């Protein structure tokens, strides 16, 4: 039986990059609420000879995950599950909109969606006696705060807690669970945010990051693939930050003037001259 991976949010951005990476090694079930982007990725990967199957569904509903699990079990042996679908809409706590898209929807997709994904993944692993692996997509926002991001940060903190629970409860049966906490990744979601907030915001993100650039989604996918693989056979319960050193830095950002000159960078912020 072939190995099968489920990737939620596989129609765009980080989820799409993860699906693309995993499709070279296994059958992939792509789950997304957007039928058009799902069909695009399915077409692209299928025409490259990969075995991918799209499932249109809302991750906040348990039925979606049950459907993804059933499809995965029909195609082979479910060994990997990535909960990536997620979103945010910022709003200040002191003037919070009376609109479910700002609270209930974010909680339902990011937090409840990841919960049901983990539940179906481990249920399948146990039924098939499979030593499977789960990766949940967290964020630097699980560990550090930013204005107007309270709801998003609650959901990402919850994802890290859920990941520890899965790792601890199912570790005795060889099942592993980890989270990946990206920094700023250039995806359609971030592009939309930057269009709204202006180019200064992009520069601020680059300056704050020691590597002085945003991530490409493929750089997150590489780490997810590693965590799912046997190369990470003794890694479980972790939330691994993939953020260009952002969380390690006090954020002063000034450079050694001689090195800045040698590498043709501005000494005050490390960006190219
Ligand atoms: N881009 C970043 O800088 C960044 C940083 C840290 C964490 N993340 C996390 O990475 C994940 C992916 O983000 P992205 O930037 O690639 O976003 P994106 O908007 O490019 O992709 C998200 C995908 O999820 C799908 N989706 C949204 N709601 C859904 C639902 N209810 N059911 C099923 N699918 C749904 C969308 O249709 C889309 O295809 C999210 O969990 C996000 O919080 C992103």
Between the CA of residue 50 and those of 19, 41, 83, 230, what are the distances in Å? Answer: 10, 11, 21, 21
Q: Give the per-residue pLDDT at 251.
A: 87
Phi, psi of 223 (to 5 degrees): -70, -40
Q: Give the per-residue pLDDT at 229.
A: 98
The answer to whether 45 and 52 have CB atoms below 8 angstroms apart is yes
Report, as residue numbers or ranges, the catalytic residues.
152
- The residue segments making up the domain with residue 250 are 3-262
Ligand 1 centroid from CA 184, angstroms: 12
Ligand 1 centroid from CA 175, angstroms: 25
Whether residue 271 lies inside any domain: the answer is no
* Both tokens assigned to 248: 């390690």
Whether residue 240 lies inside any domain: the answer is yes
Whether residue 270 lies inside any domain: the answer is no
Structural domains counted in the chain: 1
Q: Give the per-residue pLDDT at 1.
A: 82
Q: Tens-digit pLDDT profile for the chain (273 aa)?
A: 899 999 999 999 999 999 999 999 999 999 999 999 999 999 999 999 999 999 999 999 999 999 999 999 999 999 999 999 999 999 999 999 999 999 999 999 999 999 999 999 999 999 999 999 999 999 999 999 999 999 999 999 999 999 999 999 999 999 999 999 999 999 999 999 999 888 899 999 999 999 999 999 999 999 999 999 999 999 999 999 999 999 999 988 889 999 999 999 999 999 999
Q: Give the per-residue pLDDT at 37.
A: 97
Q: Give the per-residue pLDDT at 252.
A: 86
Whether residue 269 lies inside any domain: the answer is no
Phi, psi of 121 (to 5 degrees): -60, -50
- Distance from C-alpha of 53 to C-alpha of 268, rounded to nearest angstrom: 49
Q: Give the per-residue pLDDT at 79.
A: 98
Q: Which amino acids bring their CB within 6 angstroms of ligand 1?
A: 8-9, 11-15, 32-34, 37, 58-60, 84-87, 109, 137, 139, 182, 184-185, 187-190
Please name every residue paired with 272 in a beta bridge, in sequence order, or none if there are none.
265
Between the CA of residue 55 and those of 59, 72, 135, 185, 256, what are the distances in Å? Answer: 11, 11, 19, 25, 51
Whether residue 160 lies inside any domain: the answer is yes
Whether residue 82 lies inside any domain: the answer is yes
Whether residue 272 lies inside any domain: the answer is no
Q: Give the per-residue pLDDT at 247.
A: 97
Between the CA of residue 177 and those of 72, 83, 105, 147, 154, what are the distances in Å? Answer: 19, 11, 25, 30, 20
Whether residue 246 lies inside any domain: the answer is yes
Ligand 1 centroid from CA 65, angstroms: 16
CA-nearest residue for atom 21, ligand 1, is 12
The answer to whether 223 and 21 have CB atoms below 8 angstroms apart is no
CATH number of domain containing 243: 3.40.50.720
Q: Which of 9, 104, 136 has most ligand 1 atoms within 8 Å of its beta carbon, as the pocket-test mutant? A: 9
Q: For the whole model, what pTM was predicted?
A: 0.98
């Amino acid at each position: 039986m072939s190995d099968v991976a489920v990737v939620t949010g596989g129609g765009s951005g980080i989820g799409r990059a993860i699906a693309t990476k995993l499709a070279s090694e296994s059958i992939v079930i792509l789950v997304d609420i957007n039928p058009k982007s799902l069909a695009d990725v399915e077409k692209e990967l299928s025409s490259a000879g990969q075995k991918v199957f799209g499932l249109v569904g809302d991750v906040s509903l348990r039925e979606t995950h049950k459907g993804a699990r059933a499809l995965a079990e029909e195609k082979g042996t479910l060994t990997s599950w990535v909960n990536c679908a997620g979103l945010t809409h910022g709003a200040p706590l002191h003037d919070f909109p009376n609109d479910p898209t700002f609270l209930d929807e974010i909680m339902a997709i990011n937090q409840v969606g990841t919960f049901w994904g983990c539940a179906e993944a481990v249920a399948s692993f146990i039924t098939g006696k499979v030593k499977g692996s789960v990766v949940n997509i967290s964020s630097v926002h699980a560990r550090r705060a930013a204005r107007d991001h309270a709801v998003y940060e609650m959901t990402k903190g919850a994802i890290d807690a859920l990941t520890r629970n899965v790792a601890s409860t199912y570790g005795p049966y060889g099942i592993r669970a980890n989270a990946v906490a990206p920094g700023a990744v250039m995806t359609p979601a971030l592009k939309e945010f930057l269009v709204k907030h202006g180019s200064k915001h992009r520069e601020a993100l680059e300056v704050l990051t020691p590597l002085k650039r945003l991530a490409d989604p493929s750089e997150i996918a590489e780490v997810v693939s590693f965590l799912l693989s046997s190369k990470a056979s003794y890694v479980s319960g972790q939330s691994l930050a993939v953020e260009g050193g952002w969380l390690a830095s006090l954020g002063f950002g000034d450079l050694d003037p001689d090195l800045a000159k040698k590498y043709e960078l501005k000494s005050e912020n490390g960006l190219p001259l």
